[in-house]
Amino acid sequence: MIAMGSKKRRGILERLNAGEVVVGDGGYVMQLERRGYVKAGHWTPEAAVEHPEAVRQLHREFLRAGANVLQTFTFYCSEDKLEISGNVTNITGAQINEAACDLAREVANEDDALVAGCVSKTPCYVKSHSEAEVKAIFKKQMDDFLKKDIDFFIVEFVDHVEEAGWAVEVLKTSGKPVGATLCISPHGDMHGVPPGECAVRLVKAGADIVGVNCHLDPLTCIRTVKLMKEGLEKAGLKAHLMIQPLGFHTPECNLGGYTSLPEYPFAMETRAITRWDIHKYAREAYNAGIRYIGGCCGFEPYHIRAIAEELAAERGFLPPASEKHGLWGAALEMHTKPWVRARARREYWENLLPASGRPKCPSMATPEDDYEKHYLLFRPEQVVLSLM
Amino acid sequence: MIAMGSKKRRGILERLNAGEVVVGDGGYVMQLERRGYVKAGHWTPEAAVEHPEAVRQLHREFLRAGANVLQTFTFYCSEDKLEISGNVTNITGAQINEAACDLAREVANEDDALVAGCVSKTPCYVKSHSEAEVKAIFKKQMDDFLKKDIDFFIVEFVDHVEEAGWAVEVLKTSGKPVGATLCISPHGDMHGVPPGECAVRLVKAGADIVGVNCHLDPLTCIRTVKLMKEGLEKAGLKAHLMIQPLGFHTPECNLGGYTSLPEYPFAMETRAITRWDIHKYAREAYNAGIRYIGGCCGFEPYHIRAIAEELAAERGFLPPASEKHGLWGAALEMHTKPWVRARARREYWENLLPASGRPKCPSMATPEDDYEKHYLLFRPEQVVLSLM
Amino acid sequence: MIAMGSKKRRGILERLNAGEVVVGDGGYVMQLERRGYVKAGHWTPEAAVEHPEAVRQLHREFLRAGANVLQTFTFYCSEDKLEISGNVTNITGAQINEAACDLAREVANEDDALVAGCVSKTPCYVKSHSEAEVKAIFKKQMDDFLKKDIDFFIVEFVDHVEEAGWAVEVLKTSGKPVGATLCISPHGDMHGVPPGECAVRLVKAGADIVGVNCHLDPLTCIRTVKLMKEGLEKAGLKAHLMIQPLGFHTPECNLGGYTSLPEYPFAMETRAITRWDIHKYAREAYNAGIRYIGGCCGFEPYHIRAIAEELAAERGFLPPASEKHGLWGAALEMHTKPWVRARARREYWENLLPASGRPKCPSMATPEDDYEKHYLLFRPEQVVLSLM
Amino acid sequence: MIAMGSKKRRGILERLNAGEVVVGDGGYVMQLERRGYVKAGHWTPEAAVEHPEAVRQLHREFLRAGANVLQTFTFYCSEDKLEISGNVTNITGAQINEAACDLAREVANEDDALVAGCVSKTPCYVKSHSEAEVKAIFKKQMDDFLKKDIDFFIVEFVDHVEEAGWAVEVLKTSGKPVGATLCISPHGDMHGVPPGECAVRLVKAGADIVGVNCHLDPLTCIRTVKLMKEGLEKAGLKAHLMIQPLGFHTPECNLGGYTSLPEYPFAMETRAITRWDIHKYAREAYNAGIRYIGGCCGFEPYHIRAIAEELAAERGFLPPASEKHGLWGAALEMHTKPWVRARARREYWENLLPASGRPKCPSMATPEDDYEKHYLLFRPEQVVLSLM
């Protein structure tokens, strides 16, 4: 990193315990879908084996943007999920998991970043609801990771706290730190467990870091993590807080998150957040006491850079990719057009309300409410609007 | 490409003369800005030397998406422009031009794609308005290219037809085919020369292919190319037609194009086109008789793939990246959520009006009209849209 | 009314006890402001004396639209309010109150409508918070009314349940029925008393009918009345329910209601509800068990007619003004333009999402939150969005 | 009028020749539809006989708002139109025409306003295209008017200049001044005659005042009148200019005007213009040299007042209804809420972009293009707005 000097690699808890900001990476599957390497609907990570150069390059871009952690590209890489998707016929989950560890490690070592081995929700949980079967799946994936040089684990994109707890219990047996992020809304998990209680359960299961990822926009996710924090405080428990939200505006979503939006997954462009939205998000997350701050689907490298730029004073340095970015638009000062030069200032971008260019389109959609109907948790009298 | 068999590389005119659809590539500078390798405001291509892996990867993604041509990453790479930007101190324009040719060639050879050496407008033109000086700049850049293995030339992003004509005259001395795309609106170039007359001048200067690129959205660009075609027909001239528009919705822009929008360049996310917009665009461009169809700023690899998918029947094959894409959302058929499965059909995506998720934002902006004021070409009676 | 035959005038409770739907009238002050007889900002009803023909005509339009009750045009007609406004120098409150009673009676007798004498919140309450002083004001106004032939009383537009309770206690001494509607949100009154508890207090004070009026859009007001109903049921109390919401869309409003919107009061046009919105509202209010259904600011005669048309089957007749209205657009069947004729059906209007014609404007505003700050009742984690 | 003193009634040409601003009245049929007296789809004026008090009151409101002219409520009151509509069985056109003249005269005499006898397009023109038949219809209507005390004639809402010219020729035989307003767009009339040529033909037919009314929003109508003015100047002709546009925003309409919008006629609320839009309109119309400035459908009394207030300096007085209106929101200064008091200034209202409150609705619609298809006059290259 710029003017960083050489640092010894320190562990995730060492960093968080020291009060440092840890910048996470962004979303892999949606970005690699757009680049041509992941199939939407399946969302499986076989590209780690099939096209390692593409995964390596995206890792590198996140690293360059300021990420302190590279997550292995192992989303949905449990054997049961791979089998269902039917997308990958000649490659085993173990091959993907191992290749993904190598790729993340290789790039992380270009700087002093950490590698997090990632597991996500399993089809098995909803199908069998068997603790033994689900834990066996997580154990198998963990064993793949442990053959490689990873620094800690992340359980992510789980919408039942019970399943996430099981994963944490398995992964803790490795002796490595474990973070756990649920893809839940402020209303709680799929069984109606409120965020505060979810956090308590995860910490009791052994999680060192808890929070949320995916499914909802940054400000909504901050609200959920705040509720987790309150729950932990009430229970007298301590844990680090983590957040990796969507890079999309989803003000009208409830429990089902962005999959319930009509635009999911092939017309989400309209909802993409800007780098200036990220500045607000990073500041607000920091102010809420969250110290592991990254992104999920929709977070591209420049969004991660915006986190690192917003928190540059707190971290003490800018990321490498800021060589190619004027803070708050400063590089526009030399633009040939005077009205573009006039945009080379923070006030302009902070206050801009960007037009959609789509006068035939509405500003808000009607989310599919089947999700809510299925899970009986929707309280129609309380539709919560969150706006960035 | 899928089921393609091996083909001998044939030249650009050979392909176009045979009536083939040539799929262009997408936008480099804005995409590489987001990936952390290009500085907005400068938009110079030093990454070809500094970070070849990033440029190579983006080339590869466009190739994989179906592009038949890879343009050298040499935008704004004239010596006078590099000097003004002050962004590149230790690297010469010649170094960039040569490295960029090698990168494009390397990747193009992974399939049977062509390499186009690209030149763009020079600061010199507006500053000196000297034909000799401007031509010398283009000559120097051409000489860099001719040291390498390129297939043809493209003059792009020029908003004065006079300058574009000078470039064409220089490049034609190489003996290679030349394409020329102006960044103009249906109102004409910066001196008020209408599109039809622009096309005539370019063809008379020696261009084999003419059209537009950048500055405006796909459907507006098609209108401009249609006016070019009409102009050529009236003049009894023939040339191939080419289009590489913005990947953004810009319905309210006039002469100044997207740089006059308040969102340019750091809040254009809202305006990004979807892959389904591309299907309409590709079909309409094809129906207008345009056979070289690509994109400019805002066109990511998946947009290029959408061109290739829309015109798969005409071309006879799908691109490699379609392995990771169900046509018209078909891969959603195996999604776990029933309402997402219901989206696995063309009718759904064709008719969707995506919500912006930004209820505090307008749908259209007020473009800076200084551009028009400066150039005295704006005819207010021609703006059919009147807004109180 | 159409095919009604002559009926003897029956009292409000007689009608409600019989399970009849009572259609209220619409908003007077905003409509008469637009007609040129009321001053916005003051909102006082001196037009009853100054321009009786204008008030009489609006009464007649509401009657013709189906209203069963005409409210006296006595809004803000307490002596203390008139004095503060400084708008009326030569006319006493008593003169207005008496003239207003005569006007309402005169028009009501053209059919079998009832006349409700109306009182609204007093500046005195906030200023002195003296029960004796506030009650004296209400007593004085009641005495004016009792000189005339009115059928019952309505306390309306009060945002503190305490003040409304005092008004009810005074008016009950007349021996006439009393309805009481608060201008509160689902969050409760200005002191944070929840709707359920508000309803209980009003009924205990003697109100025969309780509900809400003004400040928020129809669907939000229905939510509030439902909460009132729940409160009464839990307390084992009974009362008739009444609703007279805004005729404007206010999805983003909280406690402060529409006065906190940037558009209040002179740019509310954009938010006006259509007659088709009213059909949904009337049906939903009816389904919620509300039987006194009218409107407040923004409700014009045709909105009242839409209530009467939606509930025509339940009431057994259409209002006189339906002579000039085809149900669900039926009269368009004879339009000269075929595409307008195609709109002569319920499905068309029920599903139409009307465009604003204002592409430079947002769809939602940021309400002034000073109101919330002043009253310390705003809970930022719960911004409630209600959408019609 | 306020501080006006008594004036002798002077004719329309006397006023316009003296350079005075003549304020027109607003729209009758849509407003009386909302009040319950006109049937949408038919739009015939039988209320002049059936409910004279309603027509009288609306006349009075326009007069009070500052109108110098009251138009007889005789829209679509030709015998052939009344017959087709089938709406009026026991009342003859002559009865309506005569009653309408009396009502307008009665109210006009409350001040010094003029009465204009109005004729509009006839079904006969499209059906028979017979000059003799059409002229006979206009002659009959004129004879009705001439039995009464009217000051001049207005031909309005005609979309073929040929028919309007015939009407002018007939009415000129009365010896009274004649104004003629077409309901056309800047593209011209239904036969493609451009506005400039339309104006020339009308003046040659004998019109003293020419312009446009209805169909399109204020700023679009100003553009059309400007084109008329240019046409007259080129032809060396002179006439007074007149404008009475819609009180709705219709930015996306072409030839067909607002009837081609999906919202017509029962969901136009969203598009209603504010009083502040009127200030801009009145000023721009005045600056364009138009001196007869009024409104059509959608113009309520407060919109007419806004014309009179914007042009108060030019006219030398405010209208009576300004007693109940603080200029530019001045009366809000005494509002109890501080943030509403802050709106008591011109700058606030001039710059406000009102939110629609409808986040599920788009900002622009797709007009029915059948109109254009039917008339073969639509030139797609003239639509500057392109939407994907």
Q: To 10 degrees, the CA torsion angle through C268, C270, C275, C279?
A: -90
Chain Cα centroid distance, residue D62: 13
**CB within 8 Å: B361 and C362:** yes
Mean pLDDT in residue range A55-72:
98
**CB within 8 Å: D273 and B217:** no
What tokens were used for A350?
Answer: 């902070």
Q: Quote the pLDDT of residue A369.
A: 64
Chains that touch D (3 or more CB pairs under 8 A): A, B, C
**CB within 8 Å: C36 and D65:** yes
**CB within 8 Å: B362 and C364:** no
Residues C248, C254, C257, C259, CA torsion sign: negative
Determine the 3-state secondary structure of B26 from DSSP.
Answer: coil
For chain C, the maximum distance between any two Cα atoms, rounded to a whole number of angstroms, is 66
For residue B284, which residues of chain D lie inside 8 Å, CB to CB?
A: none
Query: 212-231 in B: which are within 8 Å (CB) of A?
Result: 217
For residue A223, which residues of chain C lie inside 8 Å, CB to CB?
A: 381
**Rounded to an integer, what distance in angstroms lies between the CA atom of residue B61 and that of residue B52?**
14
How far D349 CA sits from the closest chain C CA (Å)?
8
Q: Give the pLDDT band (50/70/90) at residue A89.
A: confident
**Rounded to an integer, what distance in angstroms lies between the CA atom of residue D203 and that of residue D168?**
9
**Chain B contact present for C262, CB below 8 A:** no
Does A214 appear as a known binding residue?
yes
For residue D387, which residues of chain B lie inside 8 Å, CB to CB?
A: 219, 249, 251
Residue D82 pLDDT greater than 90, yes or no: no
Among the ranges given (A4-13, A345-354, B66-75, D351-360), the one the predictor scored with the smallest mean pLDDT: A4-13
Q: Quote the pLDDT of residue B369.
A: 64
**Chain C contact present for D57, CB below 8 A:** yes
**Chain D contact present for A356, CB below 8 A:** no
Query: 175-204 in A: which are within 8 Å (CB) of C?
Result: 186
- Among chain A residues, CA nearest to D363: A359
**Chain D contact present for C333, CB below 8 A:** yes
Mean pLDDT in residue range C175-199:
96
Residue A17 pLDDT greater than 90, yes or no: yes
What tokens were used for A258?
Answer: 């962005």
As a whole number of Å, the end-to-end CA separation of chain B is 52
**Chain D contact present for A366, CB below 8 A:** yes
Q: Quote the pLDDT of residue D364.
A: 94
Residue D380 pLDDT greater than 50, yes or no: no
How far C223 CA sits from the closest chain D CA (Å)?
18
**CB within 8 Å: A85 and B262:** no
As a whole number of Å, the end-to-end CA separation of chain C is 30
Give the residue with greater pLDDT, A85 vs D215. D215
**Chain D contact present for B106, CB below 8 A:** no
For the stretch B194-244, pLDDT in tens is 999 999 999 999 999 999 999 999 999 999 999 999 999 999 999 999 999
* B249 vs D251, D254, D388: nearest CB: D388
For the stretch A362-383, pLDDT in tens is 999 988 865 555 443 333 333 3
Mean pLDDT in residue range D366-382:
51
Q: Find the radius of gyration of the CA atoms of chain C.
A: 20
Interface test with D, best of B229, B353, B366, B388 (most D CBs within 10 A): B388
For residue B300, which residues of chain A lie inside 8 Å, CB to CB?
A: 34-35
For the stretch D146-177, pLDDT in tens is 999 999 999 999 999 999 999 999 999 999 99
Q: What is the DSSP string of C75-99?
A: TT-SHHHHHHH---SS--HHHHHHH
Q: Quote the pLDDT of residue B78.
A: 87
Please give, one letter per residue, the 3-state secondary structure of B241-309.
EEEECCCECCCCCCCCHHHHCCCCCCCCHHHECCHHHHHHHHHHHHHCCCCEECCCCCCCHHHHHHHHH
Residue C3 pLDDT greater than 80, yes or no: no
**Rounded to an integer, what distance in angstroms lies between the CA atom of residue C148 and that of residue C116?**
11
What tokens were used for B119?
Answer: 């030149």
Q: Please, are residues D258 and D248 in contact by the beta-carbon 8 Å criterion?
A: yes
How far A119 CA sits from the closest chain B CA (Å)?
19
Interface test with C, best of B363, B384, B386 (most C CBs within 10 A): B363
* C361 vs D123, D349, D355: nearest CB: D355
**Rounded to an integer, what distance in angstroms lies between the CA atom of residue C62 and that of residue C57?**
9
**Chain B contact present for D306, CB below 8 A:** no
Residue C216 pLDDT greater than 90, yes or no: yes
CA nearest neighbour of A118 among A148, A85, A84: A148
Q: Quote the pLDDT of residue C369.
A: 64
**Residues whose CB falls within 8 Å of the CB of residue A51, separated by 6 or more in sequence, listed in order:** A37
Beta-carbon pairs below 8 A across chains B and D: 63
For residue C263, which residues of chain B lie inside 8 Å, CB to CB?
A: none
For residue C363, which residues of chain B lie inside 8 Å, CB to CB?
A: 359
Residue C4 pLDDT greater than 50, yes or no: no
Q: Please, are residues C125 and C89 in contact by the beta-carbon 8 Å criterion?
A: no
Residue C385 pLDDT greater than 60, yes or no: no
Q: What is the DSSP string of B77-90?
A: -SHHHHHHH---SS
For residue D365, which residues of chain A lie inside 8 Å, CB to CB?
A: 360
Q: Quote the pLDDT of residue C335.
A: 87
For the stretch D257-294, pLDDT in tens is 999 999 999 999 999 999 999 999 999 999 999 999 99
**CB within 8 Å: A385 and C381:** no
Q: Quote the pLDDT of residue C133.
A: 97
Please enumerate, by residue number, every residue of B annotated as part of a binding site for Zn(2+). 214, 296-297
How far C385 CA sits from the closest chain A CA (Å)?
6
**Chain C contact present for A381, CB below 8 A:** yes
**Chain A contact present for D3, CB below 8 A:** no
Q: Quote the pLDDT of residue C377.
A: 38
Interface test with D, best of A271, A361, A383 (most D CBs within 10 A): A361
- HSE (CB half, 13 Å, CA atoms) of B316? 7
For the stretch A256-306, pLDDT in tens is 899 999 999 999 999 999 999 999 999 999 999 999 999 999 999 999 999
**Rounded to an integer, what distance in angstroms lies between the CA atom of residue B42 and that of residue B55?**
17
Q: Give the pLDDT band (50/70/90) at residue A166.
A: very high
- Calculate ∠ Cα D322-D325-D327, nearest 5°: 90
Q: Give the pLDDT band (50/70/90) at residue D205.
A: very high
Q: Residues of chain B whose pLDDT is less than 70? A: 1-7, 86-88, 369-388
Q: Please, are residues A63 and B51 in contact by the beta-carbon 8 Å criterion?
A: no
At position A308, the amino acid (one-letter code) is A
What tokens were used for A55?
Answer: 């995964």
For the stretch B367-381, pLDDT in tens is 886 455 544 333 333
**CB within 8 Å: B364 and C360:** yes
Residue D374 pLDDT greater than 90, yes or no: no
Share of chain A above pLDDT 70, in %: 92
**Rounded to an integer, what distance in angstroms lies between the CA atom of residue C42 and that of residue C44?**
5
CA nearest neighbour of A385 among B292, C380, D194, B311: C380
For residue C300, which residues of chain D lie inside 8 Å, CB to CB?
A: 34-35
What tokens were used for C372?
Answer: 């919330």
Q: Please, are residues B50 and B91 in contact by the beta-carbon 8 Å criterion?
A: yes
For the stretch C89-146, pLDDT in tens is 789 999 999 999 999 999 999 999 999 999 999 999 999 999 999 999 999 999 999 9
For residue A363, which residues of chain D lie inside 8 Å, CB to CB?
A: 359
Q: What is the mean pLDDT of chain B?
A: 92
Q: Please, are residues B149 and B105 in contact by the beta-carbon 8 Å criterion?
A: yes
Q: Please, are residues D53 and D321 in contact by the beta-carbon 8 Å criterion?
A: no
Does D77 appear as a known binding residue?
no
- Among chain A residues, CA nearest to B362: A355
Q: Quote the pLDDT of residue D368.
A: 83
**CB within 8 Å: D274 and C267:** yes
Q: Please, are residues C340 and C312 in contact by the beta-carbon 8 Å criterion?
A: no
Interface test with D, best of B222, B281, B386 (most D CBs within 10 A): B386
Residue D229 pLDDT greater than 50, yes or no: yes
Interface test with C, best of D268, D270, D341 (most C CBs within 10 A): D270
Give the residue with greater pLDDT, C170 vs C369. C170
Please enumerate, by residue number, every residue of C annotated as part of a binding site for Zn(2+). 214, 296-297
At position A222, the amino acid (one-letter code) is I
Q: What is the mean pLDDT of chain D?
A: 92
**CB within 8 Å: B387 and C361:** no
Q: Quote the pLDDT of residue D256.
A: 84
How far B272 CA sits from the closest chain A CA (Å)?
6
Share of chain D above pLDDT 90, in %: 86
